[in-house]
Amino acid sequence: MKPAMETAAEENAEQSQEKKGCFECCIKCLGGVPYASLVATILCFSGVALFCGCGHVALTGTVTILEQHFSTTASDHALLSEVIQLMQYVIYGIASFFFLYGIILLAEGFYTTSAVKELHGEFKTTACGRCISGMFVFLTYVLGVAWLGVFGFSAVPVFMFYNIWSTCEVIKSLQTNVTVPGDQICVDIRQYGIIPWNAVPGKACGPILENICNTNEFYMSYHLFIVACAGAGATVIALLIYMMATTYNYAVLKFKSREDCCTKF
């Protein structure tokens, strides 16, 4: 029979080892988390949600403004309406694709991080796994370049609405100056090429333009386009983070898969 004090000491030692083993296990699991891919996934989901949601509503408000104030004949803006409707369907596809692609990239990040850090024993990888990682690197680069174009394109409506808003501010500032009538200050939407030159009325001047700027459709569309542009920018940043993370992981996997990798240092 062991003394009671020795038995208690052994039990305490076993408990401390269990706690230490649990702590080490938690640290090991946390070490396998691809933090860069996790941040990029959150940023990508947020950016795509802002771009798709705000862009969809802003496009609907833009069509309403054009129909009510700049192109009263339906045939004049029929093509524009079809293009905007097509863009809204494309937005649905973009949202669905990036939701799946973000999850796949996050899962690939967990796989490559665990393989690189050898969390589950000796380093093992296959040619197929390296090929899939390389494919994700290439696809992410392509999507990054494409989203740079989307980001630039999303800034176009912001520029247009800003010009209209700034013109309205000029009209308001001239209300105190009687020598310069505000009726001579106009905005011609036809010059942007979104409606044909024979569209009626095609432009708005003075108080009419000021009333347009005071409508809820204009206010909401303007600010939603700004948020959509910011969302596209956030998506570009997320894809850049994905590029760096996937390229680094692929390079390490490619290097460690070589038989003579240990003799290089």
Q: Which residue has better confidence, 133 or 15?
A: 133
pLDDT at 9 over 80: no
Q: What is the pLDDT of residue 182?
A: 62
Please state the rounded mean pLDDT for residues 14-40: 65
Q: Which has the closest alpha carbon to 225: 58, 92, 64, 60?
A: 58
In the chain, which residue ranges form alpha helices assigned H by DSSP?
4-31, 35-65, 78-116, 127-173, 206-213, 216-256
pLDDT at 218 over 80: yes
12-16, 30-34, 181-185: range with highest mean pLDDT: 181-185
What is the rounded average pLDDT for all residues in the chain?
79
pLDDT at 100 over 80: yes
Please state the rounded mean pLDDT for residues 123-148: 80
Give the pLDDT band of residue 51 (cuts 50, 70, 90). Answer: very high
Distance of CA 175 to the CA centre of its chain: 42
Give the pLDDT band of residue 3 (cuts 50, 70, 90). Answer: low
Q: What is the pLDDT of residue 54?
A: 93
pTM of the model: 0.79
Percentage of residues in the chain having pLDDT higher than 70: 74
Q: Which residue has better confidence, 170 or 15?
A: 170
HSE at residue 105, side-chain half, CA atoms within 13 A, is 35
Could you tell me the CA-to-CA distances from 198 to 72, 78, 84, 190 in Å, in that order? 11, 13, 20, 9
Q: What is the pLDDT of residue 184?
A: 78
Rounded Cα–Cα distance for residues 8 and 38 (Å): 44
pLDDT at 262 over 80: no
Q: What are 70-87's pLDDT values in tens digits? A: 888 888 788 888 888 898
Q: Which residues contact 198 (CB under 8 A, 6 or more apart)?
A: 76
